[in-house]
Chains A and B, each alone.
Chain A
Amino acid sequence: MAFAYTPGLRVANRTVVRKERRLPLTGETLVKVGDAVTAETVVARTELPGNVKMLNIANILGLPPGDIPELHAEEGSVIKEGEVLGQSKGLFGLFKNTVRSPIEGVFESYNRITGQAVLREPPIPVEIDAYLKGTVTEVLKNEGVIVESVATFVQGIFGVGGEIRGEIKVLTEGPEKELTADLIDDSCRGKVLLGGSFVSVGTLNKAIKTGVKAIIVGGFDDKDLKEFLGYDLGVAITGHEKKGITLILTEGFGRMTMASETFELLKSREGMLASVNGATQIRAGVMRPEVAIPVQGEETERSSDKQAGAMDIGSRVRCIRAPYFGKLGTVAALPAELQVLDSEAKVRVLDVKFPDGVTVTVPRANVELIEE
């Protein structure tokens, strides 16, 4: 059986991209099926309950719970910051202790046994935009909508930062070049930059200062990621970082030449508006970062065409583990017998021929197919 697993990264010239735009809580949807939307169109809205503040009035007044004084606020009433909530009787009407509200909101409840008051801040409005220029194809009642668009669609392998939009601007001459700090100037403000093989944390920081929206490159160092985030990322669940930029890696960690197909495709979209999302989840419900660039016209390939499949002699593959990590080649042989590796493990292998004519043997698990 000539199968090898691939993570199924998509690089599509023109495909239908379907985006579910769902509220965190039920609320109201603001568009209907068939509506044309831009990326900024607000499609649904809700209000999250405000944060709760617990205040032990009895403790603050220094009274036992059984000796609770009269309250100045009623349960359910609106309160202002600094408003008096309760007061001790004091000594002959003097030396009164006062409890004031630390927040503006609602005096939600008061427990006469424990002396605990629950104050709630005002609701937090939440709005969801369409993310992508396209058409509303489905309304999920009170929960959100589905937006569809014909777009150029590229999935990365790892990303940081959430949804953002900007015009594609090509910054490096080729996919093997590093995106260096000197290439970033004021013309990059508000743009989604396409780099080549690598970006350093220094360059990333300059990009943030310049107002760059996102960077798409082949590789990035993990020690830079730690410095950039300010912590060591444990499990690969990203997208919520608020660093002022979205970063998408197409190949992996280290200095990695971007696959020329990916680079050329994105380069051909220079000047067009891209919706970018760095959110990555590598486990159940795998989610990869993405770049979607809405284009005019019909789709030319279905997303379902791009998936893991059988590999044959001549299939184009990318090596995804040392010692050939990042190198592209074609399958030269698929021997059925297990073979012993340098590590002494006995596994299924295949032979890969690189463009320079050299042929090497690698475990089948260590390549991924490149869909033509």
Chain B
Amino acid sequence: MASKEITRIMATDCGSTTTKAILIEKKDGEYRLIRRGEAPTTVEAPAEDVTKGVLNAVGEIEDLEGRIFLKPGDEGVLISPDSPDGVDIYMSTSSAGGGLQMTVAGVVKTMTGESAQRAALGAGAIVMDVVASNDGRLPHEKVADIRRLRPDMILLSGGIDGGTIDHVVELAEIVKAADPKPRFGIGYKLPIIYAGNRDARDLVREELGEQMELKIVENLRPVLERENLGPARDTIHELFMEHVMAQAPGYPRLMKWAGHYVDGDWVQVPIMPTPGAVGKLIETVAKNEGIEVMGVDIGGATTDVFSVFMSIENETVFNRTVSANLGMSYSVSNVLASTGFDNVMRWVPFHMDEADLRNRIRNKMIRPTTIPQMLKELIVEQAIAREALRLALVQHKELATGLKGVAQERTIGDAFEQTQTGATLVNMMNLRLLIGSGGVLSHAPRRSQAALMLIDAFLPEGVTMLAVDSIFMMPQLGVLSEVLPKAATEVFDKDCLIRLGTCVAPSGENRKASVLAEVTLTGSDGSSSEIRIEKGRMLVKPLGVGEKVEAVIRPEKNLDVGAGPGNEWTGQLEGGVVGLIFDGRGRNPFLLPEDDSARIEKLQEWSMALDIYPKRFISLEGGE
């Protein structure tokens, strides 16, 4: 039997709070999103079975479409290539149950420790702790921390090939002494991956072989100058499926449901950790368009940042970080604790009592699934989101670096540039596309709210296209791109990615200038217009999705929009649902007025310029 072309796809993402299902179908020669459904995730008590949430989310699509997508008796998603009911393939991603939580270990914290961290993060894990010989903790403290955190898996690295053995064995001894127990599934061995000095393999096996589920792979840092993260990453995925997922409530069933028929035979599609799937999609976008891209996914418990930037060796480097305790529900109080009351309040365009704000945030934390009903609550949540996003970017910059500890050849010229190893790869001026995803961005009642949240938090410099994931479906498209890249790309372009518009923001210091740049825009019909980017002001010029104008941007002395300080920039600017956004608030530095009333006045002015809230927001004050 020949395989029928896949034209109907059901994909779910089991998040920590919500399970989202999407239905994609091929119509008139292209794949498009047809319907979306969602339901609360059911991995926790009382349901303790992830498939219930999946059935509810797919059930919602059934209700809305008036067609059958579930097997009788709720025995899974109906895969029936030869029937008008059901779909041709079903697949899923998951971050439910806290996602994949790992502890990593390396000899030197900023070298093998950091490489191990990058390997785990790249595989979609949350890194709970980095244990290193030089992390400043005493051995018994390390033992206590490993035990307390109860990771799903441990990645042990350390030593370049032919390097230190003692320190690696010492780390193995610490893990052995800790003897951590898995979170799910009592009585099975905790998986541990050894990806360190190959000369220490036998000794590590001696220490850990019996007590734990040990997998030995190639060294992830075989020499100081090079990382080899692939084998460790692949093994993390494998063990995630085999051990962690298989132990989580309901997952063995879900794993059986995901798949399709190839030549009449059933083929399973592995469940991917959600961030792994999103990362895959961001990489694909960067590669297809040949640009430097960042993506951010702000969830309830965590915020993931993904980036593809060029290294100094002119290679594209993908990085992912996860800020495990920055999010909008479970972790919302931690955002306040990390950044402080004043930093949240600086984004709120009205006065508010600290005690009131604190109680509101706490109540969101203890009842994480609630949503803001009142405009005032929405504004407060979006203020917190800005800080969560900003802090996540700070963490990303710290880890998205070149390799540290590498000897560099320097010429006389380099000696004056003061470059050092391990500098961040994140360059906001080179960034061409910034994509936001996650409830607070994707479901913002007005798209301009998402645009301003992204701009305020990430402070893009020069010329940057802003976009959001329309309905929060990047995870599903990520897993889809593994099986059907064409379908994933088509749906991503047409239905997922909502282009908000291009942000133009001059960067640099020029205290005298009252106009940061002058812009000449020439439309396709030859009409032209002049725009002045005034200091401290924002301006939006409507330009629709897909529409482009030729632009000449002439920044003032010392100010840069991408062609160097004071240099004219020429190129195309693309519109979006918000339009072209000219941001004269400054970068490097970006400063908000310190005086409370002046700051509120400015926030209101900017909010009005982008039309982000109904006008009545200006009169909001006090409690409700």
Q: In the complex, how many angstroms separate the beta carbon of B274 from the nearest chain A beta carbon?
A: 14
Residues of B with C-beta under 8 A to A49: 140, 143, 177
Stretch at the interface among A146-154, A173-181, A344-352: A344-352
Among B98, B365, B373, the residue within 8 A (CB) of A343 is: B373
Q: Mark A40-68, 1 if CB is under 8 A from B, else 0.
A: 00000000011110100000000000000
Residues of B with C-beta under 8 A to A172: none
Stretch at the interface among A3-11, A87-95, A207-215: A3-11
Asked whether A233 lies within 8 Å of B56 as measured between CB atoms, the reply is no
Residues of A with C-beta under 8 A to B230: none
Which residue of B47, B177, B366, B374 has the most chain A CB atoms within 10 A of its CB atom? B366
Instruction: Tell me, in angstroms, the Cα distance from A235 to B361 when the chains sit together.
Output: 12
Asked whether A235 lies within 8 Å of B330 as measured between CB atoms, the reply is yes
List which A69-89 residues lie within 8 A (CB) of chain B.
none
List which B320-338 residues lie within 8 A (CB) of chain A.
325, 330-331, 333-334, 336-338
Instruction: Tell me, in angstroms, the Cα distance from A190 to B301 when the chains sit together.
Output: 38
Which residue of B39, B358, B363, B374 has the most chain A CB atoms within 10 A of its CB atom? B363
Number of A-B residue pairs with CB-CB distance less than 8 Å in the complex they form: 158
Residues of A with C-beta under 8 A to B333: 232-236
Instruction: Tell me, in angstroms, the Cα distance from A227 to B508 when the chains sit together.
Output: 42
- B370 interface contact, C-beta 8 A: yes
- B30 interface contact, C-beta 8 A: no
Residues of B with C-beta under 8 A to A233: 333, 337
Among A3, A285, A341, A365, the residue within 8 A (CB) of B183 is: A285
- B412 interface contact, C-beta 8 A: no
Residues of A with C-beta under 8 A to B360: 322
- B446 interface contact, C-beta 8 A: yes
Given contacts A233-B333, A283-B16, A285-B98, are A5 and B40 in contact (CB under 8 A)? yes
Q: In the complex, how many angstroms separate the beta carbon of A287 from the nearest chain B beta carbon?
A: 9
Residues of A with C-beta under 8 A to B397: none
Among A253, A285, A320, A343, the residue within 8 A (CB) of B377 is: A343
Instruction: Tell me, in angstroms, the Cα distance from A106 to B331 when the chains sit together.
Output: 43
Residues of B with C-beta under 8 A to A306: 46
List the A residue with the shortest CB-CB distance to B616. A342
Asked whether B445 lies within 8 Å of A344 as measured between CB atoms, the reply is yes
- B371 interface contact, C-beta 8 A: yes
Q: In the complex, how many angstroms separate the beta carbon of A100 from the nearest chain B beta carbon?
A: 20
Interface residues on B, range: 35 or more
Instruction: Tell me, in angstroms, the Cα distance from A322 to B373 when the chains sit together.
Output: 7
Among B183, B301, B361, B367, the residue within 8 A (CB) of A321 is: B367
Residues of B with C-beta under 8 A to A16: none
Asked whether A222 lies within 8 Å of B371 as measured between CB atoms, the reply is no
Instruction: Tell me, in angstroms, the Cα distance from A49 to B138 when the chains sit together.
Output: 14
- B28 interface contact, C-beta 8 A: no
Asked whether A365 lies within 8 Å of B363 as measured between CB atoms, the reply is no
Instruction: Tell me, in angstroms, the Cα distance from A7 to B183 when the chains sit together.
Output: 21
Residues of B with C-beta under 8 A to A345: 371-372, 378, 443, 445
Q: In the complex, how many angstroms separate the beta carbon of B578 from the nearest chain A beta carbon?
A: 16
Q: In the complex, how many angstroms separate the beta carbon of B313 from the nearest chain A beta carbon?
A: 37
- B624 interface contact, C-beta 8 A: yes
Q: In the complex, how many angstroms separate the beta carbon of B38 from the nearest chain A beta carbon?
A: 10
Residues of B with C-beta under 8 A to A126: none
- B97 interface contact, C-beta 8 A: yes
Q: In the complex, how many angstroms separate the beta carbon of B457 from the nearest chain A beta carbon?
A: 19
Q: Mark A234-257, 1 if CB is under 8 A from B, else 0.
A: 111000000000000000111000
Asked whether B45 lies within 8 Å of A365 as measured between CB atoms, the reply is no
Asked whether A1 lies within 8 Å of B60 as measured between CB atoms, the reply is yes
Instruction: Tell me, in angstroms, the Cα distance from A246 to B365 when the chains sit together.
Output: 20
Instruction: Tell me, in angstroms, the Cα distance from A234 to B330 when the chains sit together.
Output: 10
Instruction: Tell me, in angstroms, the Cα distance from A144 to B42 when the chains sit together.
Output: 29
- B63 interface contact, C-beta 8 A: yes
Q: In the complex, how many angstroms separate the beta carbon of A361 from the nearest chain B beta carbon?
A: 9
Asked whether B355 lies within 8 Å of A323 as measured between CB atoms, the reply is no
List which B53-76 residues lie within 8 A (CB) of chain A.
56, 59-60, 63
List the B residue with the shortest CB-CB distance to A231. B337
Asked whether A235 lies within 8 Å of B47 as measured between CB atoms, the reply is no
- B147 interface contact, C-beta 8 A: yes
- A34 interface contact, C-beta 8 A: no
- A127 interface contact, C-beta 8 A: no
- B375 interface contact, C-beta 8 A: yes
Asked whether B375 lies within 8 Å of A343 as measured between CB atoms, the reply is yes
Asked whether B16 lies within 8 Å of A322 as measured between CB atoms, the reply is no
List the B residue with the shortest CB-CB distance to A365. B371
Residues of B with C-beta under 8 A to A225: 362
Residues of A with C-beta under 8 A to B138: 51-52, 54
- A107 interface contact, C-beta 8 A: no
Asked whether A236 lies within 8 Å of B371 as measured between CB atoms, the reply is no
Given contacts A7-B367, A321-B373, are A223 and B331 in contact (CB under 8 A)? no
- A259 interface contact, C-beta 8 A: no
Q: Mark A281-307, 1 if CB is under 8 A from B, else 0.
A: 011111000000000000000001011
Instruction: Tell me, in angstroms, the Cα distance from A347 to B38 when the chains sit together.
Output: 12
Asked whether B371 lies within 8 Å of A221 as measured between CB atoms, the reply is no
- B369 interface contact, C-beta 8 A: yes
Residues of A with C-beta under 8 A to B134: none
List the B residue with the shortest CB-CB distance to A232. B337
Instruction: Tell me, in angstroms, the Cα distance from A333 to B47 when the chains sit together.
Output: 26
Instruction: Tell me, in angstroms, the Cα distance from A325 to B536 when the chains sit together.
Output: 39
Asked whether A283 lies within 8 Å of B330 as measured between CB atoms, the reply is yes
Q: In the complex, how many angstroms separate the beta carbon of A285 from the nearest chain B beta carbon?
A: 7
Which residue of A52, A158, A223, A308 has the most chain B CB atoms within 10 A of its CB atom? A223
Residues of A with C-beta under 8 A to B331: 234-235
Asked whether B46 lies within 8 Å of A253 as measured between CB atoms, the reply is no
- A115 interface contact, C-beta 8 A: no
Asked whether B365 lies within 8 Å of A282 as measured between CB atoms, the reply is yes
Residues of B with C-beta under 8 A to A286: 44-45
Q: In the complex, how many angstroms separate the beta carbon of A230 from the nearest chain B beta carbon?
A: 13
List which B332-366 residues lie within 8 A (CB) of chain A.
333-334, 336-338, 354-355, 358-363, 365-366
- A132 interface contact, C-beta 8 A: no
Residues of B with C-beta under 8 A to A347: 371
Instruction: Tell me, in angstroms, the Cα distance from A221 to B357 when the chains sit together.
Output: 11
Residues of A with C-beta under 8 A to B270: none
List which B82-98 residues lie within 8 A (CB) of chain A.
96-98
- B413 interface contact, C-beta 8 A: no
Residues of A with C-beta under 8 A to B355: 221-223
Instruction: Tell me, in angstroms, the Cα distance from A286 to B367 when the chains sit together.
Output: 12
Asked whether A253 lies within 8 Å of B375 as measured between CB atoms, the reply is no
Q: Mark B172-185, 1 if CB is under 8 A from A, else 0.
A: 00000101000100
Instruction: Tell me, in angstroms, the Cα distance from A254 to B359 when the chains sit together.
Output: 6
Residues of A with C-beta under 8 A to B338: 234
Among A157, A223, A252, A282, the residue within 8 A (CB) of B354 is: A223
Instruction: Tell me, in angstroms, the Cα distance from A25 to B358 when the chains sit together.
Output: 38
Q: Mark B606-618, 1 if CB is under 8 A from A, else 0.
A: 0000000010000
Which residue of B56, B96, B374 has the most chain A CB atoms within 10 A of its CB atom? B374
- B252 interface contact, C-beta 8 A: no
The 7 closest A-B pairs by CB, nearest first: A284-B98, A307-B46, A234-B334, A344-B445, A222-B358, A343-B378, A232-B337
By a beta-carbon cutoff of 8 Å, the part of chain A in contact with chain B is 1, 3, 5, 7-8, 24-25, 49-52, 54, 157-158, 221-223, 225-226, 232-236, 252-254, 282-286, 304, 306-308, 320-323, 325, 341-347, 362-363, 365-366, 368
Contacts A234-B333, A341-B374 supplied; 7 other A-B pairs, CB < 8 Å: A3-B56, A25-B179, A235-B325, A283-B98, A284-B97, A307-B47, A325-B363
Can you name 6 A-B pairs with beta carbons within 8 Å? A1-B63, A3-B39, A157-B367, A235-B325, A236-B330, A342-B373
